[in-house]
Amino acid sequence: KRYVSERAEMIPPSGIRKFFDLLLTMNDVISLGVGEPDFNTPWNVSVAGIDSVERGATAYTSNKGLEELRDLISSYLISRYGTSYDPQNEIIITGGVSEGLDLAVRTVVDPGDEVLVADPCYVSYSPCVTLAGGIPITLPCPAEDEFRITPDTLMEKITRKTKLLMMNFPNNPTGGVMKQGDLEAIADILVDHDLLLLSDEIYSELTYEGRHVSPASIDSLWERTITLNGFSKAYSMTGWRVGYFCAPPEITAAALKIHQYVMLCAPTMSQYAAVEALKHAEEAKDRMVAEFRMRRNLFVAGLNRIGLPCHLPKGAFYAFPSIESTGLSDEDFAERLLVEHQVAVAPGSAFGPSGIGHIRCAYAVSREDLDEAVKRIGEFIDSL
Ligand code: PLP
């Protein structure tokens, strides 16, 4: 008898896991491999979590999440991005954007629906679609398009079965962004084909050339968009597991049914910490973003200097240079760089076919470590 379901069998293990396992067995490694800020959670935010425990506020919250937090999110979204979501029936606090992705896909995808996944992308996108019975279809966002979705590539992939477009800008792993004009160019196509949009905006605070544009701020897109965001990256809160799901009321009500059975509510202490983050962590956040910007400039200049062509990423904290000139596959490059020169990066192909021939380097380490990493990568390339 087979115990594991077909759907669970169908999803592959994460393509970056192997490198982390290897890394754990090694010393003196500079890790540009993980997508995590290296800063501590701002202390006042942590204290708010600790306070909630000390006060005994450790029971479930409502399924939707703390009212105060939903109110703050609603005000933040309108003032920062011009997106309007009613805290009563259009926002759910989730266990990170990770839960939000799974929740969103299961809320709108039926078995056999095709889901366009802007590629390369975060490793969970296609598995989430597969687990919901949908069919993930990659939508290429290559370097020559500055890692954006273009109307032509979108049109090419749409069929009668297409239900949803899943995208993440600023993007992990490329650092690419979609500006107002880019979004307007695809908005009409989404409307004409009556497609839904799932917009993962977890890096929205980390932009280096102008503000993030949220698709739901475009009138024609609001009614067909699910907006996901969270606290992990902007406030260095990856372990707190708190994010949010925003959508029109009909979609939110359906999502809330799934969320209440599967998650019940996001962690209570983390919700109190998130309240503090939105109220009193603006300065800490701005300091972290400024530091990421400096590191980006330094690191990308270093990569180009040693002969790895790299677009200047416009957001998030990843550089995505091409390693094609070395003649190695991205997997071999990452493995040999780790074993021979003790620098961990992620192979681009782990994030989808458009990532082939690239490596993802998270510049979420100190400037000294970035300098040393550039030196070691340079030595590795020279040794080839
Ligand atoms: N979405 C993207 C694009 C990510 O890069 C990540 C984490 O790396 C997540 C979602 C997961 O976020 P969370 O910590 O909120 O679950």
Which of 180, 164, 167 has its CA nearest to residue 141? 167
Is it true that 6-41+283-383 and 56-280 share their CATH fold?
no
The predicted pLDDT at position 262 comes to 97
Chain segment 231-270, per-residue pLDDT in tens: 999 999 999 999 999 999 999 999 999 999 999 999 999 9
On the question of pLDDT at 15 being above 80, the answer is no
Mean of pLDDT over the chain: 96
Say how many C-beta atoms besides its own lie within 10 A of residue 339's C-beta: 10
Residue corresponding to tokens 């904290």: 317
Pick the CATH number of 56-280 from 3.50.50.60, 3.40.50.300, 3.40.640.10, 3.30.420.40: 3.40.640.10
Average pLDDT (29-57) is: 96
The predicted pLDDT at position 179 comes to 96
Spans of all domains in the chain: 6-41+283-383, 56-280
The predicted pLDDT at position 22 comes to 82
Q: Any residues with CB less than 8 A from the CB of 1 and at least 6 apart, and which?
A: none
Average pLDDT (178-201) is: 98
Cβ–ligand 1 contact at 120 (below 6 Å)? no
Chain segment 99-119, per-residue pLDDT in tens: 999 999 999 999 999 999 999
What value of ipTM does the predicted structure carry? 0.99
Whether pTM > 0.90 for this model: the answer is yes
Cβ–ligand 1 contact at 348 (below 6 Å)? no
On the question of pLDDT at 129 being above 80, the answer is yes
Nearest atom in ligand 1 to 35's CA: 8
Angle, CA of 121, 122 and 125, to the nearest 5°: 90
Please report which confidence band the pLDDT of residue 342 belongs to, taking 50, 70 and 90 as the band edges: very high
What is the CATH code of the structural domain delimited by 6-41+283-383?
Answer: 3.90.1150.10
What six digits make up the tokens of 5? 């379901």
Cβ–ligand 1 contact at 100 (below 6 Å)? no
Average pLDDT (365-381) is: 97
Å from CA of 37 to ligand 1 middle: 12
Å from CA of 36 to ligand 1 middle: 9
Which of 360, 320, 355, 310 has its CA nearest to residue 119? 355
- Candidates 32, 99, 103, 202: which one to mutate for ligand 1, based on the most atoms within 8 Å of Cβ? 202
Average pLDDT (318-342) is: 96
- Cα–Cα distances (Å) from 189 to 153, 156, 158, 232, 323, in that order, read 11, 11, 10, 32, 34
Q: Any residues with CB less than 8 A from the CB of 72 and at least 6 apart, and which?
A: 275, 278, 279
What six digits make up the tokens of 251? 């979609």
